[in-house]
Amino acid sequence: MFEIRKTELEGVLLVEPGIFEDHRGSFVEIFNLDEYKDSGINVKFVRDALSTSAKNVLRGIHYDDKTWKLIQCMYGKIYFVVVDMREESKQYLKWQSFILSHQNRRQVLVPPYFGNGHLVLSESCTFYYKMSEYYDPGNEKILRWDDPEAGIFWPVKEPVLSRKDATADYL
């Protein structure tokens, strides 16, 4: 059973799967096509990916104009940010953050034209995402993580960045 709620950003959804726990541990269904369709989510996912990172690693903010992403932290804890990159939107450059962890099992559905990035809060994390499109490096765009126009709050002063994220241009 999934509880699916709207967020402050139009089109971005927060998904909270039911967690069943007993003396043996827990069980969580992380994807159910019928339940997603019944909730109005009619996205065809074509690929899944895992990413592992250490504490204070910041990845993103990446986006394109085609890809839906369903994001979840499988292990650890992350500070996850979504940014509206639709230039014609009233919410352009508005952002919202979420704490995703292996304990809360929350998921965020990120539509096309919305950037996403995350900062690892735990000693390490495993980040899982489903995507509706195959990777097209020519279509990928990057919003610099510290872009002054977006003004995203990150709970770290000096994150660990990839070369690509560290050298991305500001808007």
One DSSP character per residue, 33-50 reads HHHHHHTT------EEEE
Evaluate whether residue 76 is within a structural domain.
yes
Residue 130 lies in a domain: yes
pTM of the model: 0.94
Is 62 tagged catalytic?
A: yes
Q: Could you give the 3-state DSSP secondary structure of residue 3?
A: strand
Q: What is the DSSP letter of 135?
A: -
From 36, 79, 113, 129, the catalytic residue: 129
- In angstroms, rounded to a whole number, what is the distance separating the alpha carbons of residues 142 and 126? 22
- Let me know if residue 11 belongs to a domain: no
Domain with 86 in it: what CATH number? 2.60.120.10
Q: Tens digit of pLDDT for each residue in 5-15?
A: 999 999 999 99
Q: For residue 58, what are the domain limits?
A: 43-167
Query: Considering the domain boundaries, does residue 6 fall inside one?
Result: no
Query: 141: closest CA among 104, 121, 168, 162?
Result: 168
Asked if residue 83 belongs to a domain, the reply is: yes
How many domains are there within the chain?
A: 1
> Residue 158's pLDDT band (boundaries 50, 70, 90)?
very high
Strand order in the sheet with 114-120: 95-101, 77-84, 114-120, 58-63, 141-142
pLDDT one-digit tens code per residue, 96-117: 999 999 999 999 999 999 999 9
Q: What is the pLDDT of residue 76?
A: 98
In the set 23, 36, 62, 134, the catalytic residue is 62
